Amino acid sequence: MTDKKEDAEAPRLIFPATLAADAENGATHVRINIKERKDGKFVDVAILHLNYPIGFVVTDSGNYGSGDFGAGAAGFNAVMQGLGIRSGDSSKITQQDVLSQSDNISEILSAIPGVDIVNKGARIQALGQGVAQNPFTYVTYEGQQLRSFTMDFKMISESPEEAKTIRDIIDVVRKYSMPESTGTLSIQYPAFFEIEFYRGEDPNPFMPKIFQCHLTSLGTTYNATSNIFHADGAPLETDMSLSFQERKSLTRGDLYELEGDVGTDTADLVLDTENIATEDNTTTSPTE
């Protein structure tokens, strides 16, 4: 198991002890690189190599709202369509359209003396015919949510040495999840974490890409299924739960290269029309 050139001097913590040899034979593992700002630069302060977390989930979500296009804008669009300037689904103004706009028409005519009775009559007529104003509501996109996810690791030590490695891993993660005091009134941001999934010595293309993260929560459970300790008092079993949040909301370019060699190329998506289920729920084989 080798590390990148810039990581050569960063301390490495590997669990289990056999993981390095297993990785050379193609075993899967996750690499967590902890980076901290020092003297204006981000440097590697520790690198962890662990087995894949249990039941890892990544959720991509966008923020969506709604906005009313408005009858006024829709009506203007209809007029422009009638003049042949704009195209649309419909440019015909019906009697129901006029009834539904009685409130808007009333507002426009409110300054004219003597029209109040007419306006009330128009509203009553619209109500009686069950006609309401169409607000022309559309979905609005308001940006991506920051992705958050949790990694759960179960670490069972087979020797006192492995138990000490588990302790060191937890201490390092806890240390760099906290800020550092930089003065009486100031603190420095905690370190951030770079997470990569590997198969052997190469990144695993089947696992998700993770942007730089901050660790928002660390949870540890000791001897969850047993009450056994090593001779020096170290617990046999330790569960570590890490909750991360990416440093920024993402765009496509943050995760996928523009050249299209990462992720699915839509040009390769071909519809297999020869094996589509027919209307009677049977499948047609190319050999039939």
Distance CA 42, CA 177 (A): 15
Q: Are residues 101 and 28 in the same domain?
A: no
Q: Which residues pair with 68 in a beta bridge?
A: 137
Count of Cβ atoms closer than 10 Å to residue 52 Cβ: 17
Of 142, 176, 204, the last residue of a domain is: 142
Length of the chain, please?
Answer: 288
Same domain, 249 and 201: yes
- Structural domain ending residue among the three candidates 86, 107, 142: 142
| Count: domains in the chain | 2
Q: What does the pLDDT read at residue 256?
A: 82
- pLDDT tens per residue across all 288 residues of the chain: 655 555 557 899 999 999 999 999 999 999 999 999 988 899 999 999 999 999 999 999 999 999 887 655 555 565 555 555 554 555 555 555 555 555 555 555 455 555 455 556 666 777 777 777 777 788 999 999 999 999 999 999 999 999 999 999 999 999 999 999 999 999 999 999 999 999 999 999 999 999 999 999 999 999 999 999 999 999 999 999 999 999 999 988 888 864 455 545 444 444 444 444 444 444 444 444
Do residues 33 and 138 share a domain?
no
Claim to verify: residue 212 and residue 250 sit in the same structural domain? yes
What integer pLDDT is reported at residue 254 of this predicted model? Answer: 87
What is the structure's pLDDT at 267? 43
Measured CA to CA in angstroms, residue 203 lies from 29, 45, 129, 146, 273 at distances of 10, 21, 66, 24, 35
Query: From CA 108, how far away is CA 106, in angstroms rounded?
Result: 5
Q: Are residues 165 and 49 in the same domain?
A: yes
Q: Is 269 left (phi over 0), alpha (psi -120 to 50) or beta?
A: beta
CB atoms within 10 A of CB 213: 21
Beta bridge partners of 153: 240
- Residue 5 burial by CB count (10 A; 0-12/13-18/19+): exposed, middle or buried? exposed
Residue 92 and residue 217 in one domain: no
Q: Cα–Cα distances in Å, from 184 out to 140, 176, 180, 187, 188?
A: 45, 20, 11, 8, 12
- Give the pLDDT of residue 69: 73
Please indicate, yes or no, if residue 253 is contained in any of the structural domains: yes
pLDDT value, residue 258? 44
Give dist(CA 157, CA 17) in Å, integer. 9
In the listed set 114, 142, 170, which residue is the last one of a domain according to the structure?
A: 142
Q: Give the structural domain span for 238.
A: 5-61+146-268
Please tell me whether residues 177 and 51 are part of one structural domain.
yes
Q: Is the pTM of this model over 0.75?
A: no
DSSP 147: P
